[in-house]
């Protein structure tokens, strides 16, 4: 075994052991965690405080961009109306026992347009997730190269139902116009269960049309645990096949700023015949490092793929997510 592969195996094993065995310790350390995140102590004691000033400066710029575009579209002067523009930056690092090391950057966000209209927003994304395979999205592959920009119209928004439409261009030559529709529906059920339905339909000039349907049932087992059972179906005209998946996730809230999720799932395709291509299991630890804008995730996974003769393949993902906003 190559030294790099051995090192990755050791890292994944240590991360898995750490996440699976440390839950009780984390739950007992909530007071210490509050001190780390600045809840009970001065901000000066937080080791991440040096990020506050550049983060606040960029957040002000994002809000200014939103207000400037809004004033230009409305044909009015810039004012101080509340503006919900935001920017999201996500850094992803993956390690696998094949010796592969992948670093990815994902950027997204929207510019609020309250002067022009309350229902329209300008959106931009460095990755268009609907053009990825269902398996890649679930495993967090986050491939790059499908950046899009356009406008989103919120047709309806209520406590149970939201419906929006988006139109814009995909960042490539020749220009690739698109249309997307997203609908979300949530409904409480009996026995403490809840139902969530997520429907997406899209059409890209170069890729044709496609859809994704997500049906999820969830139940709060107690104050700190939530069970989530989901089924997914996705179709893309360019690939001419249906992808399907089933997953079970147990979310555990360790404290106000820390959570742990245990997940297992199965995914497959309809061509060349209907078959399962992947079984996977993983644990995700998520922590709010700095208030509500800086988040850290560790995700060790075990993949068993048809193309790998069902041999277990450990993998480790590390994510750092930053949000920039002023609302």
Q: What one-character DSSP code corresponds to residue 37?
A: T
Q: Report the candidate in 317, 190, 185 with the shortest Cα–Cα distance to residue 263.
A: 317
| Helical (H) or strand (E) element with 165 | strand 161-170
* Regions of the chain where pLDDT drops below 70: 1-46, 98-100, 142-145
Alpha-carbon distance of 26 to 32, in angstroms, equals: 10
Alpha-carbon distance of 265 to 187, in angstroms, equals: 24
Residues forming beta bridges with residue 22, ordered by sequence position: none
Q: Note the pLDDT tens digit of each residue in 148-187.
A: 899 999 988 788 999 999 999 988 778 899 999 999 999 9
Instruction: Write down all domains in the chain, each with its CATH number in brackets.
Output: 3-49+93-105+133-138+155-315 (2.40.160.40)
The two tokens of residue 223 are: 């104050």
Alpha-carbon distance of 151 to 153, in angstroms, equals: 7
Alpha-carbon distance of 168 to 150, in angstroms, equals: 4
Q: Note the pLDDT tens digit of each residue in 271-325.
A: 778 899 999 999 999 999 888 899 999 999 999 999 889 999 999 999 999 999 9
The two tokens of residue 96 are: 């696998």
Amino acid 23: pLDDT: 46
228 contact partners, CB below 8 Å, separation of at least 6? 216, 217, 218, 248, 249, 250, 251
Alpha-carbon distance of 105 to 14, in angstroms, equals: 25
Beta carbons of 126 and 144 less than 8 angstroms apart: yes
Handedness of CA 105, 33, 221, 197 (dihedral sign): negative
Alpha-carbon distance of 22 to 16, in angstroms, equals: 10
Strand bridging mode 86-96 / 120-125? unpaired
Alpha-carbon distance of 75 to 116, in angstroms, equals: 8
Considering the entire predicted model, what is its pTM? 0.80
Alpha-carbon distance of 170 to 155, in angstroms, equals: 23
């Amino acid at each position: 075994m190559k030294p790099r592969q051995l090192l990755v195996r050791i890292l994944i094993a240590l991360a898995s052991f750490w996440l699976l065995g440390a839950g009780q310790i984390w739950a007992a350390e909530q007071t210490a965690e509050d001190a780390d995140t600045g809840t009970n102590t001065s901000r000066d004691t937080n080791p991440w405080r040096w990020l506050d000033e550049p983060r606040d400066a960029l957040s002000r710029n994002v809000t200014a961009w939103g207000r400037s575009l809004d004033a230009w579209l409305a044909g009015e002067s810039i004012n101080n109306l509340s503006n919900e523009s935001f920017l999201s930056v996500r850094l992803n690092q993956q390690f696998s026992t094949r010796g592969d090391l992948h670093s990815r950057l994902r950027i997204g966000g929207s510019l609020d347009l309250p002067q022009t209209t309350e229902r329209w927003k300008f959106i931009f994304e460095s990755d268009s997730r609907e053009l990825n395979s269902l398996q890649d999205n679930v495993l967090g592959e986050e491939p790059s190269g499908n950046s899009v920009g356009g406008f989103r119209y919120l047709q309806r928004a209520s406590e149970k139902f939201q419906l929006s439409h988006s139109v814009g261009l995909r960042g490539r030559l020749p220009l690739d116009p698109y249309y997307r529709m997203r609908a979300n529906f949530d409904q409480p059920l009996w026995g403490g269960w809840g139902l969530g339905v997520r429907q997406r339909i899209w059409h890209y000039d170069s890729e044709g049309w496609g859809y994704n349907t997500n049906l999820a049932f969830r139940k709060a087992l107690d104050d700190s645990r939530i069970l989530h059972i989901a089924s997914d179906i996705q179709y893309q005209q360019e690939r001419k096949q249906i992808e399907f998946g089933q997953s079970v996730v147990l979310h555990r809230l360790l404290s106000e700023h820390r959570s742990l999720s245990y997940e297992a799932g199965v995914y497959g395709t309809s061509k060349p015949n209907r078959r399962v291509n992947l079984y996977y299991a993983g644990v995700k630890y998520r922590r709010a490092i700095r208030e509500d804008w800086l988040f850290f995730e560790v995700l060790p996974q075990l993949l068993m793929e048809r193309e790998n003769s069902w041999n277990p393949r450990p993998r480790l993902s590390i994510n750092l997510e930053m949000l920039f906003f002023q609302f």
